[in-house]
């Protein structure tokens, strides 16, 4: 069930109750009219009929009010449940930030805003942890999970409300720095890269360093999601290869 269906239920339940009440009301009025024209004592019967009609209508309205309140409460709970379920489909269970599906929903909307001139564009930042496999192999998967959560918290704490942080899967993350200039976004991404590569996890008396490679791709009107992801991914792996080259050179020197 979707939230649209819940709204539709709200829109149809109340008119149905009112229609039923109007049908009963017309029936009672017809009964009074028939009593009012039947023989002697017609006026007394008519007055009595009106009283009974009024009492019936009041009772009906009270009952309808109770039914409407109950329906509103049920629909409100359904909408809350739907919102919760929809949140689960777009949230990464381990880290609490958005997952791949949740990111794509926001990213496509942001590109649409660019096309309509409502956003000047921004920057996508792909992030891949360089030593995640070694952390898992050396310290165990629990340490790896703690590392993933630490990175997610770091990313979430460094973005604006209009930006988005997501975990695409495994040890790969993505940031969307929306509606900002290329220069400003690049500066923020550079600072974030330094922060990530100076990040460490305290784990059972040990300090586990974290290293990450970043791939940056600015976007604007006319760009496609596939091209942006592809370019950012290419740059990220180029950055990773350059890091490994430097590390190997330092080890041999």
Same domain, 202 and 77: no
129 and 212 share one domain: yes
Q: Tell me the pLDDT tens digit for each residue of 165-175.
A: 999 999 999 99
- Rounded to whole angstroms, the Cα distance separating 156 from 61 reads 51
CA atoms within 13 A on the CB side of 181: 3
Please say whether the beta carbons of 91 and 156 come within 8 A: no
Least trusted range by pLDDT, from 28-42, 110-124, 195-209: 28-42
- Residue after which a domain boundary falls, among 90, 118, 139: 90
Q: What is the pLDDT of residues 83-139, one digit of tens each?
A: 555 555 899 999 999 999 999 999 999 999 999 999 999 999 999 999 999 999 999
Split into its structural domains, the chain has a count of 2
Mean pLDDT of 62-89: 68
Active site residues: 171
Q: Are residues 125 and 82 in the same domain?
A: no
Give the mean model confidence (pLDDT) for residues 32-43.
52
Question: Does residue 151 share a domain with residue 54?
Answer: no
pLDDT of 252 reads 79
Whether 136 and 70 map to the same domain: the answer is no
Query: Where among 65, 90, 115 does a domain terminate?
Result: 90
Residue 156 located in a structural domain: yes
Beta bridge pairs of residue 123: 177, 218
**140: pLDDT confidence band, cut at 50, 70 and 90?**
very high
Domain assignment present for residue 20? The answer is: yes
- Residue 82 sits in the same domain as residue 108: no
Phi, psi of 168 (to 5 degrees): -80, -20
123 and 188 belong to one structural domain: yes
Domain hosting 11: range is 3-90
Q: What does the pLDDT read at residue 72?
A: 76
Averaged pLDDT score across all residues of the chain: 82
């Amino acid at each position: 069930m979707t939230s649209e269906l819940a709204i539709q239920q709200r829109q149809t339940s109340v008119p149905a109750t009112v229609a039923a009440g109007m049908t009963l009301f017309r029936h009672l009025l017809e009964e009074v009219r028939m009593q009012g024209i039947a023989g002697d004592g017609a006026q007394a019967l008519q007055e009595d009929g009106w009283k009974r009609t009024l009492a019936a209508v009041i009772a009906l309205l009270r009952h309808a009010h109770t039914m409407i309140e109950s329906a509103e409460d049920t629909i409100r709970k359904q909408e809350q449940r739907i919102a919760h379920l929809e949140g689960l489909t777009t949230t990464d269970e381990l880290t609490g930030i958005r997952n791949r599906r949740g990111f794509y929903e926001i990213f496509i909307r942001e590109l649409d805003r660019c096309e309509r001139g409502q956003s000047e564009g921004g920057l996508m930042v792909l992030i891949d942890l360089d030593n995640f496999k070694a952390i898992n192999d050396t310290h165990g998967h629990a340490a790896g999970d703690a590392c993933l959560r630490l990175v997610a918290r770091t990313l979430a704490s460094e973005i604006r409300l209009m930006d988005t942080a997501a975990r695409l899967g495994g040890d790969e993350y993505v940031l969307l720095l929306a509606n900002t200039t290329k220069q400003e976004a690049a500066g923020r991404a550079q600072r974030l890269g330094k922060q990530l590569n100076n990040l460490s996890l305290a784990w059972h008396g040990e300090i586990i360093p974290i290293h990450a490679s970043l791939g940056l791709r600015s976007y604007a009107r006319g760009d496609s999601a596939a091209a942006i992801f592809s370019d950012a991914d290419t740059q990220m792996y180029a950055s990773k290869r350059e890091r490994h080259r430097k590390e190997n050179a330092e080890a041999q020197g």
